[in-house]
Structures are given as C-alpha cells and as structure tokens.
Chains A and B, each alone.
Chain A
Amino acid sequence: MALVNLTGVTPGTWDVIDTDSAPREGAAVAVPLARLADEDETFFKAVGSVGAIVPTDAAYTDLAPLANKLAFVVIDFPAFGDGRGFSLAVRLRKDLGFKGEIRATGPVIPDQALFLKRAGFDTIDVADDREAAFKAALERFGAFYQTDFVGQLSVAHLRHSKTDSSDKDADGERKAS
C-alpha cells in the first residue's frame, strides 16, 4: 500500500488492533470505534495515542464523546460509493472541531481524491499501482463551486474578493489552500 498525502500533514503510524487484542504499552493504536466506546480511561492511559477506526455507518454523534481523546481517525469505506464517509469527515471538522489526521481506507477511487481532501481527509491508503492516478487527480481541478469546511472558499466568493486578481491566467488556475 501507498499513502497519498492530501494536506501535507505528518502522517501517523500505528498498530491496528482488533476487538479483543491487547495494545502494546505506549504504542499508537488504531482501534475499532465499537471497542473504544467500551474502553475506560485506563486503556487510554496505557497506550501512547489512540485513533478510531470508524465504519461509514457510524453516526457522528457516536464520535462526539471521544473526539477530544483521539489523535487520529480512520474512516473505512466499504465501497467507493458510500458517501457517508464524506459527511463523517465533514462532521469531525465542522461540528466536533477535530484537528487530528483523518485517513481514508477502503476501495476509494482516484477521481475522489479532491472530494476527500475537501471533505476534511488528510491521507488516503491506496494500492501501490493507483498512487500515481490519485496524485494526478489531485492536480485536476483548480477552482471549486463550494465553500468547504477546510478553508476553501467557493468561486462565488472569489469572484468578488479583493484578493482575486482578475488579470490572472484566464484558465483560472488556483490551487486549494
């Protein structure tokens, strides 16, 4: 697997542990959300840092009590068309104020790279042979019709903003910040 970095975040590394295995002491661990909900403070104290592995059918409200204890969140797509993963990322950024890394795993496709970035994801786990396609897709569009929750203003705003120099290249190239 390769890791596509969308935002320039320093990507984390972690152990993935399942529903009943014990974490290494002091390690960074990614834990299924269902298990985390049952763990008490001793678990969080025993490990170095904790991230949640979140299925797309989770409600963001289930994440709310945990958000300030998590260092990172992995949203696991069962299929590329399961758009709930995008709303989960948006909710984490917008409503839960989550600042840590959000990673996408599962069969997402290169053409979703910009959507993922704009929904609030930082990184994507991709098959090695798809890394180039993901990176190319990130460069495809330079202007966006929506304001998102990670700092991109819509072209509707840029059209009337003082910082938009209309003598810029006619192709309107503008990289997301």
Chain B
Amino acid sequence: MYAYDKYDHAITNARVAEFRDQVERRVKGELTEEEFRPLRLMNGLYLQLHAYMLRVAIPYGTLSANQMRRLAHIARKYDKGYGHFTTRQNIQYNWPKLSETPDILQELAEVEMHAIQTSGNCIRNTTTDQFAGATADEVADPRPYAELIRQWSTFHPEFSFLPRKFKIAITGAALDRAAVKWHDIGLILKKNDAGEIGFEVLVGGGMGRTPVIGKTINEFVHERDLLSYLEAILRVYNEQGRRDNKYKARIKILAEDLGAEEYARQTNEEWARIKDQPLDVPAEEAARIKSFFRAPPLPVLPDDVPAVDELEKKNFLFKAWVKNNTNPHKVPGHVNLTISLKPHGGIPGDATAEQMDLVAALADEYSQSEIRVSHEQNLILPHVAKKDLPAIWADLDEVGLGTANVGLLTDIIACPGLDYCSLANARSIPLAQAITERFDDIKRLQDIGPLKIKISGCINSCGHHHAGHIGILGVDRKGEENYQLLLGGSGAEDASKAAILGPGFDEHGIIDAVEKVVAVYLGEREDGEEFLAAYRRLGPAVFKEAVYGAR
C-alpha cells in the first residue's frame, strides 16, 4: 500500500486545519450556510434529509487493517455505530455532528486518510478493480496509476471548479470490474507490441438522466504520458463543457456534441503543446510509487485443500460461499475473498463497527493486513490462502457476514434513496431488502446464476440502474413512489445500457415483476446461458409479455 511521506502529510494536515477553521467560522455564525456550503462540499460534507453526511475517501478502494479499525472507531465515536460503503469505493457516515467533523478529519489524517475529492465539481476519487494486484487476469496493477492520479488531481489549481463532478476509473484486467466505460474517463491498461505499458483512453461515459457509454479517443497512451494526457482532456472539458444546465454539464454531453473524433483531435492538439512540460512525474517517482504496490511474498500452495473439501461436503452454505465469494488469485493456493455486505433483508453496503473490526482482524491474520472495497459495495480480503477459508468463514458467519451471494441476484447495488438522500424520489433500501427476502434461498440463487440488480432512487443514477442486468429506477408519480423496470444493462467490458421494459410499478408490483422476469429467463435459457446473454438473445418481447401481458 502507498505510505505518506512528509509532503502528503503536510498537505492532508493543512486541509484539516483549513476545514477546522471553516467549521469554527460557521459555528460562530461568521459564515452563512450559503457561504459554508461550497466549503463543506470540498470536504465531503453533505447536508442530507435528516443530518449532515460525511463521505470519506478510500482511494481506489484499498485500505489497511489499521485504517479499517479507524473507520470502525469513527463509526462508534462520532456516528451511530455503522458506516455505508459506496459505489465509489468510499465510506459514508450518516449522522456526524457538524462541530465534530474536523475531529473526524484529524483522526483520518492520522491514518493517512481524508475526505478530499468526495464531493464538489472536482476530479473525484479514482476507482479501480477490487482485485487489483491480486488477480490472475491483469496486464498490470492499476493502483500505482490510480495513486498518481490521486496526487495529480488533489487540489488541482485549474480543475477544481469544473462544470460538474468528474470520475475516472482504471482497470488492469480483461474482465472489467471497475465499470470503466461508464466513467467520465475510463482507462484500460494495455501493453503495446514493444511490451510497454500504456492505456486505452475512453471519454464521455456516464449515467444520470442521459446514460452514455464512453468512447475510445486514444488506443494507446504511454504510461509516462498519463498525467499530461489527462490534463489535456480536462482542459478541453473545463473550457467547453456546458455550465448553463447542470444536467448537461458532464463531459459526456460535450463529447457527444463534439463527437469522439473531434474530442480526440482537440485533446491531441493540446497534449502536443504540453507533453514536454514537467507535468508527468519523473521516472524515479513512478518507480517510487510502484514500489509501494509490490506483490506480497505469498508462498505457492496446493490448490487442493482436503479440509476445505470436507467442510464443503458437510456444509452446503460454506460450499456455496467458497463457490460464489472467491475469485482466482495470481498465486496458486490463494483466493480473493469477497465479504458480502448484502445480507438478505439487510441494507446493501452497510457495516457495523464490530463488523469492520472483525474484517480488520481477519485481514491482519489472513490477508497481509490488506482490505479492498468494491464498487459493488462489498469488502474484499485480497490475499487469502485457501486453507484458511474454513476459519474465516466461521468468524464471518458469526457476525452476519457469511452471506454466500456475491455476483448473484441478491448482491444488489442500491443508492441510499429516500431514507437518507435529499435528491431521491423513492426509497431504494427497503426495496433491496424486500427483494433479498423474496429470494432468500442460496440454492435457488445459484440456479439463477450471475444476475446484477441495481437500484437508484432517482434519475441521478447513483445505484447504477442503467448498468443493471435488471435495473430499477425510483420515480415520483403524482406523489407516490413508483419503480420503473429496466433490462439488459451491463457495467462490464461488454457495457450496455438497460432499456425500460414498460410502465412502472408500486413497491409490491416491482418485486413481482422481478420474479416474473427471472421465471421467463429460467424457462427460456439454453444450457449454461446466463441471464444477460439470454436477454440479449431473446430481446425484451417475451419478458414484456410475461410482466405486462395480463395488464
């Protein structure tokens, strides 16, 4: 993991001091809420329906066991004993007191964390593959580049007041687990014919009310040119992105207006002017940052572990958990273990302080003290020896973290919705809870197979419904919560936009509709055909008939 040096500490501490000063001025009444708003929004502090919400950055979803313990401590001391992990691999606290938020930032700074880049019209926390550096299928570890981008984009003198927020994601693997094509900038690590590392660069992806899949503007930008190239993209956007309408202010709108070719041309023209300036980091600095992300020295172990096999025979839930919640590791005998934060009937992405402490302890004992957060709102122990799975399972299951549903229908992404959010039109959390209760059967879920449900409580799409195999969008219909059903989206390398199937439903109706969609899939699928593939083959008509035929 990256470790701060004196510069990183100085910058983070200066930020805490600045924020403390701002909060003190607000509490004393020297700043009005209107004046304070832009300041707090530069520190991840939102005013929600009921209270302030503090969003803390977990850069590229990587944190240490010590950092996780600090997050647990903050949940306990300053909040109501829990936190909510988000689709940007961050954590949100829903009940902090304004006067205590500077203390929270101070406690975070002590463990090299902060709330920078978690709100405002700046370049936000860069996200990446939750298995980065630990998966067998990657060209290179994306985290050093994410750290480079973190530093470059922190308090950027020119790009801190963009037309709108700006999100960058990187994947180093062929299987895209970071939804890079749905980002303002998507970066795909590649090697060229000479074996050099670089990036395919996509621009203009995004969700919201106008979903757009990003388009490639450069097939290969050499790694040494990454920051200057990003700077060129951002300058074009900062100058020309629309500022008259916040719903048309994202780069996707500019990229659509200009066209990908023209966006590429302008970017390349600007890049040619700046590429020889010292914007990119020196080779020694790239090497320094990479050195923090060296693969841990894991021993090669046998892939067959009799103790695991035996427990699988005795315990179906353990067997399902190993099957669904582990991914291949690049070192034999190891796995990436995903801890589901989607207990059936629970709140997607929430974790209590006790659960966070346990995950930290398990990371210390079994995973090189390292933890990841996925954009799908789960936690990952990235370096687990297979032989340790039975012990880990027992500990997790005891605190309600043993749900064996990763990648299955109940592994739902949901935004906070109307329970917390002042923008929402409808509740998301209770719907996710009700769906997971309806499908509370691991054997059935495994039979249904990989199926991603994503729920947003309003058109801002924080719950990624456009990218859901089944997407659900909450809308306000004459004062009533109403849910639209979308099918066929994907956030992966085969990115696609989900399409609305038909008229919306109330809360009970939408759950029944999901059930019918699943029934059609089970009835129509060919051997081994997953839901998304079946939908793409069948088209919407058969689903529409089943869901709406009688109406």
Contacts and interface: CB of A to CB of B under 8 A. Distances in A.
A156 B282 contact: yes
Interface in B143-177: 151-163
Nearest to A95: B273
Contact of B155 (A81, A115, A117): A115
Contacts of B274: 94
Contact of B10 (A136, A153, A154, A171): A171
Interface in A116-171: 117-119, 136-137, 140-149, 153-160, 166, 168, 170-171
A80 B39 CA distance: 11
Interface string B510-530: 000000000000000000000
Interface stretch (B208-216, B235-243, B354-362): B235-243
Contacts of B284: 159-160
A86 interface: yes
Interface residues of B, number: 44
A145 B161 contact: no
Given A115-B157, A143-B11, A159 B239 contact: no
B14 A141 contact: yes
Interface stretch (B1-9, B182-190, B313-321, B442-450): B1-9
Interface in A65-101: 80-84, 86-87, 90, 94-95
Nearest to A78: B243
A114 interface: yes
A65 B451 CA distance: 59
B155 A84 contact: no
Given A86-B158, A171-B10, A157 B285 contact: yes
A145 B154 contact: yes
A126 to B, nearest CB: 14
B238 A84 contact: yes
Nearest to B161: A83
Contacts of A154: 151-152, 278-279, 281
Chain A interface category by residue count: 35 or more
A172 B160 contact: no
Interface string B268-285: 000001100111011011
Contacts of A160: 282, 284-285, 288
B509 interface: no
A18 interface: no
B262 to A, nearest CB: 15
A59 interface: yes
B17 A80 contact: no
Contacts of A140: 14, 17-18
A84 B237 CA distance: 10
Contacts of B5: 159, 172
A170 B7 CA distance: 8
Nearest to B6: A172
A83 B35 CA distance: 18
A119 B239 CA distance: 14
Contact of A80 (B22, B38, B159, B285): B38
A163 B22 CA distance: 35
Nearest to B10: A172
A83 B285 contact: no
A137 B22 CA distance: 11
B121 interface: yes
Nearest to A108: B161
A108 B153 CA distance: 21
A172 B288 contact: no
Contacts of A80: 38, 161
Interface in B356-389: none
A84 B156 CA distance: 13
A25 interface: no
B13 interface: yes
B429 interface: no
A141 B11 contact: yes
Contacts of A155: 7, 151
A159 B285 contact: yes
A173 interface: yes
B285 A171 contact: no
Contacts of B21: 136
A84 B17 contact: no
A156 B158 contact: no
B414 interface: no
Contacts of A112: 161
Contacts of B17: 140
A111 interface: yes
B279 to A, nearest CB: 5
Nearest to B238: A87
Contacts of B288: 159-160
A15 to B, nearest CB: 30
Contact of B282 (A117, A143, A157, A170): A157
A171 B282 contact: no
Given A142-B10, A171-B6, A171-B13, A83 B158 contact: yes
Interface of B: 5-7, 9-11, 13-14, 17-18, 21-22, 35, 38-39, 42, 121, 151-163, 235, 238-239, 243, 273-274, 277-279, 281-282, 284-285, 288
Given A82-B161, A172-B10, 8 more contacts: A81-B38, A83-B158, A84-B238, A86-B158, A145-B156, A154-B281, A157-B282, A159-B285
18 contacts: A80-B38, A81-B121, A83-B159, A83-B160, A115-B160, A117-B157, A145-B151, A145-B155, A149-B277, A154-B152, A154-B278, A156-B281, A157-B281, A159-B284, A159-B285, A160-B285, A168-B6, A172-B10
The 6 closest A-B pairs by CB, nearest first: A83-B161, A118-B157, A172-B10, A156-B281, A172-B6, A155-B7
